[in-house]
Structure 1
Amino acid sequence: MSYSEHFRKKVLAKLEEGYSIRAVATQFEIDKNTIVKWKKRIEIKRTRPRKPSKIDDDALRADVEKYPDDYQYERAARFNCGVSSIGDALRRLGITVKKRPYAIRKQSLKSDNNT
């Protein structure tokens, strides 16, 4: 958890009064390096940089529609990525795929083969 901007300004005001970084750090019980960083940038970082996903959202939606009963490891093999990446992408898209019971799946496979 980060310190509030009000607190940061209060600490930096002490520096402007002539106190040393070490004295202010001791007084407020924070690290010296933190104060040095605040001198460079007082604003709070709102978001952290996030690496773009390797999995295309539209392609994953199409895959789920085409193969609704596949396991995540099967999808991972098709997308050439890890199982956890598939799980993260499905969660990000809000897709929860409930498995149909095996007997019903088996019946639907038989009916698909007969047509």
Structure 2
Amino acid sequence: MPKFTITIDAGDGPEQFDEAIEFPDIKAATDDAQIALAEMVRDKLPNGKQADFGVKVEDADGKQVYQAEMHFTARNEDDIAEAEADADAAAKDVASSIRGEFRK
């Protein structure tokens, strides 16, 4: 059976398993990597407003055969209102610039 090395990153930097793992084929290795990624997300969230997760699979020759990432961003009511206000202000600045008006 082919061996694959899996590296995970749960937001604390990459962590590689000590030994290669045997899988019947690449699909089985990538399926397992996807499950590991989903489990990392489930175990780590909710934990703040932002998190990044990743997983990669390398074959026995060290060639990367799979990579997946998940980027999580959460916004509460205040964050959403602030982003909307910033977008409105930016739109007004653009409109003013188009009309030849400049804000100080």
- Using the size of structure 1 for normalisation, the TM-score is 0.24
Higher normalized contact order (CA 8 Å, seq sep 6+, divided by chain length)? 2
Structure ranking higher in helix proportion: 1
- Higher strand proportion (structure 1 or 2): 2
Who wins on radius of gyration, i.e. which is larger?
1
Normalised TM-score (structure 2): 0.25
